[in-house]
Chains A and B, each alone.
Chain A
Amino acid sequence: AQSVAQPEDQVNVAEGNPLTVKCTYSVSGNPYLFWYVQYPNRGLQFLLKYITGDNLVKGSYGFEAEFNKSQTSFHLKKPSALVSDSALYFCAVRDSTGGYNKLIFGAGTRLAVHP
């Protein structure tokens, strides 16, 4: 079965410092990987995806993610964190079992950026 793991419940970082939110995956076949962000009382907003191609994927709001096949990881990164980046971040993988798609989400990582 497809799965993703986010090993950190919370990540704390000072504003202006680089941030990394970790994600590892387990899939059969080629992975379709996604990052979403959720602000309080809001739905999920799409940040970026990896389907194929370059291992470094650039997304919205200055975020990027690095796909590493040998380590089965897809960590989310940003060179310089903003206080407004504080939110809940979800890594997800596409599951196409049975021929139709759904997303399998990690447990989420709360990012807290301190001034």
Chain B
Amino acid sequence: KAGVTQTPRYLIKTRGQQVTLSCSPISGHRSVSWYQQTPGQGLQFLFEYFSETQRNKGNFPGRFSGRQFSNSRSEMNVSTLELGDSALYLCASSPDEGVPYEQYFGPGTRLTVT
């Protein structure tokens, strides 16, 4: 099976702009989670989607949002970008059944805000 894919891999945006990142999970996986990785804060959970519904959310401001489509592909959006949003954004998919919570990560999208 193909792994988790994320597009784009690299992105440069200006403060105040918005950005949309995309994630395609492993075929058959219905759960998609997003994490933010920064040198200062480490890896932090953003949110999780399952069957097109957000069912878990981390402690991030409302500028961070996401959605999931019927084919399980997911997008996350960050509006009104701030310099502190510069990070590696990782997507992870999980079958959510059987194997107890094994997550498979994509390569990430590196966002730089200038």
Once bound together, how far apart are the Cα atoms of A107 and B42, in whole Å?
6
The segment from A10-18, A21-29, A41-49, A63-71 found at the interface with B is: A41-49
Distance (Å) between the CB of B96 and the closest chain A CB?
9
* A102:B107 contact, CB within 8 angstroms: no
Given contacts A44-B105, A46-B103, A98-B56, contact A90 B43 (CB under 8 A): yes
* A102:B33 contact, CB within 8 angstroms: yes
Given contacts A42-B107, A105-B42, contact A49 B48 (CB under 8 A): no
* Partner of A49 from B33, B55, B102 at Cβ < 8 Å: B102
* B56:A101 contact, CB within 8 angstroms: yes
B108 cross-chain contacts in A, Cβ below 8 A: 42-43
Does B100 sit within 8 A of A, measured CB to CB? Answer: yes
Does B95 sit within 8 A of A, measured CB to CB? Answer: no
A interface, how many residues as a size bin?
A: 20 to 34
Encoded as 1 (CB less than 8 Å from any A CB) or 0, chain B from 32 to 45 comes to 01010000001111
Once bound together, how far apart are the Cα atoms of A29 and B59, in whole Å?
23
* A43:B42 contact, CB within 8 angstroms: no
Which residues, 31 to 45 on A, are CB-close (under 8 Å) to B?
32, 36, 41-45
Encoded as 1 (CB less than 8 Å from any B CB) or 0, chain A from 38 to 80 comes to 0001111110010100000000000000000000000000000
Once bound together, how far apart are the Cα atoms of A106 and B55, in whole Å?
23
* A102:B102 contact, CB within 8 angstroms: no
Once bound together, how far apart are the Cα atoms of A90 and B103, in whole Å?
13
Binding site for B on A (CB under 8 A): 32, 36, 41-46, 49, 51, 90, 94, 98, 100-108
A-B contact pairs, 28 of them (CB 8 A): A41-B107, A41-B110, A42-B107, A43-B4, A43-B90, A43-B106, A43-B107, A44-B90, A44-B92, A46-B104, A46-B105, A94-B101, A100-B55, A101-B48, A101-B101, A102-B33, A102-B48, A102-B58, A103-B33, A103-B35, A103-B43, A103-B45, A103-B92, A103-B103, A104-B45, A105-B35, A105-B44, A106-B42
Closest 7 CB pairs of A and B: A43-B105, A105-B43, A44-B105, A100-B56, A102-B45, A43-B107, A107-B42
